[in-house]
């Protein structure tokens, strides 16, 4: 029998996660948590059955949860929810699309989702509560910290290090051995050829700091 899974967050990213979860076919989605005003409505085929304020109660009734709010720039909300779920003692699984290619020699930690078409190569290490989005490439021996979002079509070449809470925008390219400081934002389409040691917002080809 499939384990029941409660999703937290009912926006656009949730829809993409639902598609991955359905195809992965390990869990049965029992419902979604979102804002109080959305309780009783549906996301695709699944009911929003509770608000954020009811997580404590739900954790007494269900054992497995997954965070499905997106991460644009800051991952602080996802991190806050992850830490709350850990304090409640529930299971937060790894979700990997069957349409992704993940090396048996890679390591992926709890709460992370690897979406359709993504590639995670040998020796790569992905932290907790990350989004490895559609068609992203994480090459050999890369390390991605907790609470990161590697967006659609981004490429991390070999031995890159992405610090906790970083956001790598769609279609970014990181050259080999690049370091990205934690909580940095790398704008869509940027090309990073030098290490970034100070958190900030960076864009362009080659990338430059704007904030």
At residue 151, φ and ψ (nearest 5 deg) are -75, 175
- How remote is the C-alpha of 54 from its chain's centroid? 23
| Structural domain of 119 | 94-200
182 and 100 fall within a common domain:
yes
Stretches in the chain below the pLDDT threshold 70: none
The span from the first CA to the last CA of the chain, in angstroms, equals: 50
Whether 78 and 109 share a structural domain: no
**Domain-terminating residue out of 42, 69, 88:** 88
| CATH number of residue 125's parent domain | 2.160.10.10
pTM over 0.75? The answer is: yes
Does residue 140 carry a catalytic annotation?
A: yes
CA 205 to chain centre: 25
Domain count, the chain: 2
Q: Please identify, among 43, 68, 88, the residue that sits at the C-terminal boundary of a domain.
A: 88
pLDDT, mean over the chain: 97
Written as one string, the DSSP assignment of 79-116 is HHHHHHHHHHT-B---EE-TTSEE-TT-EE-TT-EE-T
- Which residue among 13, 116, 140, 149 is the active-site one? 140
């Amino acid at each position: 029998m499939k384990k029941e899974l409660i999703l937290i967050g009912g926006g656009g990213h949730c829809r993409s996660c639902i598609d991955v979860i359905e195809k992965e076919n390990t869990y049965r989605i029992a419902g979604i948590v979102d804002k109080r005003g959305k309780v009783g409505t549906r996301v695709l085929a699944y009911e929003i059955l509770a608000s954020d304020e009811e997580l404590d109660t739900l954790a007494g009734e269900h054992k497995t949860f997954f965070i499905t709010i997106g991460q644009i720039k800051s991952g602080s909300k996802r991190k806050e929810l992850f830490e709350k779920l850990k304090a409640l003692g529930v299971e937060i699984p790894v979700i990997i699309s069957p349409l992704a290619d993940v090396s048996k020699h890679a390591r992926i930690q709890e709460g992370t989702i690897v979406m359709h078409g993504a590639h995670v190569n040998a020796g790569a290490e992905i932290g907790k509560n990350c989004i490895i989005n559609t068609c992203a490439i994480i090459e050999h021996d890369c390390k991605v910290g907790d609470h990161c979002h590697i967006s659609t079509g981004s490429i991390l070449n070999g031995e890159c290090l992405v610090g906790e809470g970083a956001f790598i925008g769609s279609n970014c390219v990181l050259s080999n051995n690049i370091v990205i400081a934690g909580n940095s934002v790398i704008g869509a389409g940027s090309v990073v050829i030098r290490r970034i040691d100070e958190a900030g917002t960076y864009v362009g080809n080659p990338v430059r700091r704007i904030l």
